[in-house]
Amino acid sequence: MSRALPPFAAFRSIGAYAPKKILSNADLEKMIDTTDAWITKRTGIKERRIAAEDESTSDMGAKAATIAIERAGIAKEEIDLVLCATVTPDYFNMPSTACIISDKLGIHNVQALDISAACSGFVYLLSIAKAFIESGMKKNVLIIGAEKFSSIVDWTDRGTCILFGDGAGAAVISATTDREEAFVDVHASADGAYADFLVTPAPGSVNPMSQKTLDAGLNFVQMKGNETFKLAVKTLTKDVKEILAQNDIQAKDIPHFIPHQANYRIIKAVGDALNMREDQVVVTVHKYGNTSAASIPMAINDLYESGKLKYGELMLLDTFGGGLTWASALLPFAGKRVYT
């Protein structure tokens, strides 16, 4: 349990946005050599959302953020830091997607930046928001996980295109003096030795944009699926067991386990290793697929809008993604308003 003095960081609100267009497994059957049965059995995914052509990552992020700010019950002028986690930014170099989202929200003259931690981005942002708030530097941090993953997917690669979807989630993390509302703990880790497990080789300083990189399809995500799968199960199981043990909390006492939604088999394996009951585990992978940095906040939002996430209830989050990066968090939901 955190022994820090106030201010503490509190998870004040959640919001999310899912694009309208649904791409079902039946649709994919018409595009590549796959079947609904294979995708369902190997991943648990039935459908995913795809952003419109003229809908950007920042458009989705701004929509999710608008809801999160409204639910936090604060004015946008009270936000003093805007952080966006994405690997599908509006622009690959600059400006940051956080800057563009801030402008769309009418938030000006406030520090704004992106982070790149792939699927772990949202939980990484929790650790960053916590540090800014506990140090007294900021009071209301807007964190956003937003992805237009469809823009980096090779729609002829059946090993990846079945998995990913688009969407955004956002939360307001605020300073509080109430210890009961405080984040309990956040773990965030990385190991670049596995950088080639999940990679978009171009554009970047290694492979600047050129006709050659485009012809070779280096602008698309490449994944060592099976190796990533095995390492995810092993690493996440260890990480969540550690965060629970270090904070003297039993898995059976967690009301809401909200894992990264990459593959139902990973969710089930980690849940089983913790002896989690089905009612403790939040699953949205069947309807959104893997939305990378947006996956966890979209899942929290689903839980919230279903009326099942109440003020003060503990959430356990875990995530794993490109980098490789992974992270887990234990924190109470400190939203003042209940969704109606």
d(CA 45, CA 40): 5
- Of 13-21, 38-46, 167-175, 210-218, the segment contacting ligand UT7 by CB under 6 A is 38-46
201 forms part of the interface with ligand UT7 (CB under 6 A): no
- Report the residue number, 176 or 222, with the smaller CB distance to ligand UT7: 222
- Report the residue number, 70 or 157, with the smaller CB distance to ligand UT7: 157
| Alpha helices in the chain, H assignment, sequence order | 25-29, 36-43, 57-72, 97-105, 121-134, 211-215, 225-246, 264-273, 285-288, 295-305
Give, in degrees to the nearest 5, the angle at Cα 79 between 303 and 100: 85
2 forms part of the interface with ligand UT7 (CB under 6 A): no
Out of 21, 46, 104, 158, name the contact with ligand UT7 by CB under 6 A.
158
Return the structure tokens found at 103.
């402008």
Return the structure tokens found at 197.
């497990």
Out of 81, 171, 236, 262, name the contact with ligand UT7 by CB under 6 A.
262
228 forms part of the interface with ligand UT7 (CB under 6 A): yes
25 forms part of the interface with ligand UT7 (CB under 6 A): no
Is residue 22 classed exposed, middle or buried when 0-12, 13-18 and 19+ CB atoms within 10 A define those classes? middle
42 forms part of the interface with ligand UT7 (CB under 6 A): yes
- Report the residue number, 184 or 199, with the smaller CB distance to ligand UT7: 199
Nearest in space to 34 (alpha carbons), one of 25, 47, 43: 25
Q: Please, what is the minimum distance in Å from the beta carbon of residue 169 to ligand UT7?
A: 15
- Let me know: does 22 contact 47? Beta carbons within 8 Å: yes
Interacting residue ranges for ligand UT7, rule: CB under 6 A: 34, 38-39, 42-43, 119, 158-159, 162-163, 225-226, 228-229, 232, 262-263, 266, 290, 320-321
